[in-house]
């Protein structure tokens, strides 16, 4: 039983990494970023490419992926999202377009495949990432086999969640973000540079997704379309948890991860996902503002 709960926890931790970024961008900026899943995908590809070309280990890919996806996120915010503030569903559509662009960019190797140039690690095919030997295998804890890599995933998630919490609740910049979540116009009236804070927030959220991608690359195959399911799952977590509530996002990712793991043991992975969707629908129907939300806006 303990090992099942542990698998659920590790599923939930990946969900949380994806959802954290979404929770911040959606909560603070009112932007539905469908390209968020592609940030996960690109993070995973950073792990693949750095393994092949730089011969570095997965650990080094984590900061690298954060930087790459954060910069990409910043660019997307500057070029597209910035023009769409206040048009919630338009951001969904435009970022969907960006998501397609990014997928095709990886698939076509940035267009180089037209000229017959192929980059090892990119392209249509599936990629795998080698997990360092000290993260492989299992160890026994309280009578259950615990997978070392899953433990590592949970640890990284916990560290990043703590960091996010610290930034949001213990720094001046975080205070500005929280002010924007509560009321963007009032925040602007109080002298907060909403545009700048939004851009940095978006970049930070994208960076978190990149790290989630690196962690996923350790136990899943990497391919150009992998982000689409991630962004859906991430949104389910955010909406279930309550928009703009970090605490709610953490709890609901744990909840959905555990449901997924428990149902999957009894039946199969497909039905487990279906049950998770069912739970999400019920939660929205019963409590549209999410399980843990504050009043505001």
Partner 1 sequence: MSIERKFQIAAYVIFISLIFAAPVIGDEFWLNRISKYLVYGMLGVAIALTWGYAGILNLGQGLFFGVGAYMLAMSLKLSSLTSLQQGSDKPVPDFMLWNAEPGAPTELCCINKGSFLWLPFQSQSVGLVLGLVLPVVIAGALGMLVFRKRISGVFVSIITLALVLLVRLVMVDAQPVTNGFNGLTDLGWLTIGGIEFDPYSRATYYLCAACLSLTLIGARLIVETRAGMILQAIRDDHVRARYLGFDVSLYQVFFFVISAGIAGVAGMLYVVVAEFASPTFMDLSFSVTMVVWAAVGGRSSLLGACIGAILINIIEAEVSETEALVEAWKAIIGLIFVLVVLFMPRGLGGAAHDVVRWFVRKPKPGQPFPALPQQSEVL
- Nearest distance from C-beta of residue 74 to partner 1, angstroms: 17
Nearer CB in complex with partner 1: 137/278? 278
Nearer CB in complex with partner 1: 53/277? 277
- Nearest distance from C-beta of residue 266 to partner 1, angstroms: 13
Nearer CB in complex with partner 1: 90/258? 90
Q: How many CB atoms sit inside 10 A of residue 92's CB?
A: 15
Nearer CB in complex with partner 1: 154/255? 255
Nearer CB in complex with partner 1: 88/186? 88
- Nearest distance from C-beta of residue 91 to partner 1, angstroms: 8
Q: What residues have CB less than 8 Å from 65, skipping those under 6 apart?
A: 42, 43, 44, 46, 47, 207, 210, 211, 213, 214
Q: In angstroms, rounded to a whole number, what is the distance separating the alpha carbons of residues 27 and 2?
A: 34
Q: What residues have CB less than 8 Å from 257, skipping those under 6 apart?
A: 8, 9, 10, 11, 12, 13, 14, 15, 16
Nearer CB in complex with partner 1: 113/138? 113
Q: What residues have CB less than 8 Å from 165, skipping those under 6 apart?
A: 246
Q: In angstroms, rounded to a whole number, what is the distance separating the alpha carbons of residues 191 and 208?
A: 28
Nearer CB in complex with partner 1: 2/101? 101
Distances (CA, A) of 225 to 51, 103, 191, 221: 20, 7, 41, 11
Instruction: Give the helix/strand (H/E) hosting 141.
Output: strand 138-141
Nearer CB in complex with partner 1: 104/183? 104
**φ, ψ at 79 (rounded to 5°):** -85, -40
Q: In angstroms, rounded to a whole number, what is the distance separating the alpha carbons of residues 26 and 248?
A: 14
- Nearest distance from C-beta of residue 229 to partner 1, angstroms: 8
- Nearest distance from C-beta of residue 235 to partner 1, angstroms: 6
- Nearest distance from C-beta of residue 94 to partner 1, angstroms: 4
Q: How many CB atoms sit inside 10 A of residue 287's CB?
A: 13
Residues contributing to the site for partner 1 (CB under 8 A)? 32, 80, 83-84, 87-90, 92-94, 96-101, 103-105, 107-108, 111, 114, 228, 232, 235-236, 239, 268, 270-271, 273-274, 277-278, 280-281, 284-285, 288
- Nearest distance from C-beta of residue 272 to partner 1, angstroms: 9
- Please name the residue ranges forming H helices in the chain: 2-29, 36-49, 58-79, 88-107, 148-170, 172-182, 184-189, 194-217, 227-241, 246-266, 269-286
- Nearest distance from C-beta of residue 268 to partner 1, angstroms: 7
What sign for the dihedral angle of Cα 81, 123, 43, 255? positive
């Amino acid at each position: 039983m303990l090992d099942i709960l542990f698998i659920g926890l590790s599923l939930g931790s990946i969900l949380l990494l994806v959802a954290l970024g979404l929770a911040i961008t959606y909560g603070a900026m009112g932007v539905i970023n469908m390209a968020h899943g592609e940030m996960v995908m690109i993070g995973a590809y950073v792990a693949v490419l750095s393994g092949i070309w730089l011969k570095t280990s997965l650990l080094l890919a984590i900061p690298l992926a954060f930087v790459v996806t954060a910069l990409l996120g910043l660019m997307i915010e500057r070029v597209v999202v910035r023009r769409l503030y206040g048009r919630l569903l338009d951001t969904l559509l435009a970022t969907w377009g960006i998501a397609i662009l990014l997928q095709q960019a990886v698939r076509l190797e940035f267009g180089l495949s037209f000229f017959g140039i192929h980059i090892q690690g990119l392209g249509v095919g599936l990629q795998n990432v080698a997990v360092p030997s000290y993260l492989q295998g299992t160890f026994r804890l309280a009578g259950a086999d615990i997978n070392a890599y899953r433990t590592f995933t949970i640890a990284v998630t916990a560290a990043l969640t703590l960091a996010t919490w610290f930034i949001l609740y213990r720094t001046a910049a975080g205070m500005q973000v929280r002010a924007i979540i509560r009321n963007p116009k009032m925040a602007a009236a109080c002298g907060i540079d909403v545009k700048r804070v939004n851009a940095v927030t978006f970049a930070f959220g994208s960076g978190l997704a990149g790290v989630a991608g690196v962690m996923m690359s350790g136990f899943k195959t990497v391919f150009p379309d992998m982000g689409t399911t991630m962004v859906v799952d991430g949104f389910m977590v955010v909406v279930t948890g309550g928009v703009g509530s970090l605490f709610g996002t953490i709890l609901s990712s744990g909840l959905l991860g555990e449901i997924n793991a428990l149902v999957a043991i009894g039946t199969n992975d497909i039905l487990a996902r279906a049950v998770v969707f069912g739970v999400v629908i019920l939660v929205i129907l019963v409590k549209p503002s999410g399980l843990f939300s504050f009043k505001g806006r």
